Amino acid sequence: MAKYPILRLVRRQEEAKPVTEVNIIPVIDISLVLLVILFVTAPLLSVPNVAVDLPPAGQPAGQDAFIAVTYALDGRMSLMSQPTDWPDLVRELSGEVKRRPGAPVVLRVDKGVRYGVVQRLIAAAKDAGASSIALGGQPKKPPPRREAPGT
């Protein structure tokens, strides 16, 4: 053993350098523990649906609930299934809007028609005094359901 153990301790303290690196292992450990806690508690936090007594829904909107303007790819146009053309559109549409105030004007335009035509139809509906204008479309069909094997 050493003769002077106290001097050896003093020398070791002088040689010791400060640690300047960050030890990343504890940070990773804590992050993983927090993730596990999150995964375990997440299903417990789901709120069950609240029972609500809703009023019955009305009948689906029929053709009388809106004013339909249809424009085909070949340029044919109709107002409420009656053929019309550009010069008469605003006058006839104005009459429909006055007959059914508050009814939205639904523009049913072929998807291949240029947008400039759609802009003209929107402008015509505004000029006719329509309070609301909507673009009609086909509802998307739900994807076919797959049966589970063996059922």
- Torsion angle of alpha carbons 84, 67, 108, 133, nearest 10°? 120
pLDDT at 133: 92
**Which helix H or strand E contains 107, and what residues bound it?**
strand 105-109
Structural domains counted in the chain: 1
Residue 116 lies in a domain: yes
Residue 92 lies in a domain: yes
Does position 29 have pLDDT exceeding 90, yes or no?
A: yes
Residue 90 lies in a domain: yes
Residue 79 lies in a domain: yes
Pairwise CA distance, residues 93 & 117, whole Å: 16
pLDDT at 11: 58
Does position 105 have pLDDT exceeding 90, yes or no?
A: yes
Domain hosting residue 93, numbered range: 63-135
Residue 77 lies in a domain: yes
31-70: per-residue pLDDT in tens? 999 999 999 988 887 756 556 565 565 545 555 688 999 9
Checking DSSP bridges between strand 67-71 and strand 77-79, what pairing results, if any?
antiparallel
CATH at 78: 3.30.420.270
Question: Which class for 125: exposed (0-12), middle (13-18), buried (19 or more C-beta within 10 A)?
Answer: buried
Length of the chain: 151
Does position 82 have pLDDT exceeding 70, yes or no?
A: yes
